[in-house]
Amino acid sequence: AVKKMRGQPGTKVTLTIFRKGVDKPFKVEIVRDIIKVKSVKTKELENGKIGYIRLTQFQENSADEFEKALKQFKNKEGIIIDLRNNPGGLLTSAVSIASMLLPKGKLIVYTQGRDPKNKEEFYSESDPIVPKDVPIAVIVNKGSASASEILTGALKDHKRAIIVGDTTFGKASVQTLIPLQDGSGIKLTVAHYYTPNGNLIMNKGITPDIIVKMTEEEEIAKAKAEREAKISGKDDIAKDPQLEAAVNAIHRLAKK
């Protein structure tokens, strides 16, 4: 069905829709186009005192979206960055976003293989957007992986953010594909990512400063609420102990 729906932008396709509560199926004609999925969602918490940024993945346009959100919230009492269930994405995007939060020239992450000479370092490229006295909390869980862990590790090691939630997935490796004669290939891990303090991310993950685990029932309820919120356009109102802990952490840090 998905293959049949796909096509050149500007061309038309007719969908036959079966809808609950409607006796007969009906047809809708739509025009194909390139769909740009936003990876950054924002809202205000605590009567506008705290800015909340949900980053779902690290795409090509994520850094630009994140920058707009930061500029919107940079004068708040604090900022919460939600990286839960973010599977990662582009390293360049993670480095760009970290550069908006850390002083220029700070080490963000480095890769290291078996040969100590094959070490590549990535540094923050610009001055931070958020003033250093504005506290930041990052929420992570076991679904936060790869680029999410790189960003989290950098902010934790440089003490720029307090990390809340559950230990991250532990997936951060550099792989290369070796093509074979039959058209298949072998994917080899040639290096791993390390946080600025030299902590290996692979198979270990990032341990939060404040550990708050959610029960399976709470996670299911939250996922359901998020789906319903997307449809209705209303805020997710499910119980969220990790978000509550992040809000409390911001309030404590703001008072210091």
CA distances from 48 to 21, 42, 78, 79, 242 (A): 40, 12, 10, 11, 19
pLDDT value at 19 more than 90:
no
Statement: 40-255 belongs to CATH 3.30.43.10: no
pLDDT the model gives residue 94 = 98
d(CA 254, CA 256): 6
- Greater confidence (249 vs 255) lies with 249
d(CA 199, CA 191): 14
117 as an active site residue: the answer is: no
Residue of 62, 156, 157, 240 marked catalytic:
157
Which among 188, 193, 194, 192 has a CA at the least distance from the CA of 175? Answer: 188
Residues carrying CATH 3.90.226.10, the chain: 40-255
126 as an active site residue: the answer is: no
CA distance between the termini of the chain: 56
213 as an active site residue: the answer is: no
Q: Read off the pLDDT band of 2 (50, 70, 90).
A: confident
Residue of 99, 124, 146, 148 marked catalytic:
146
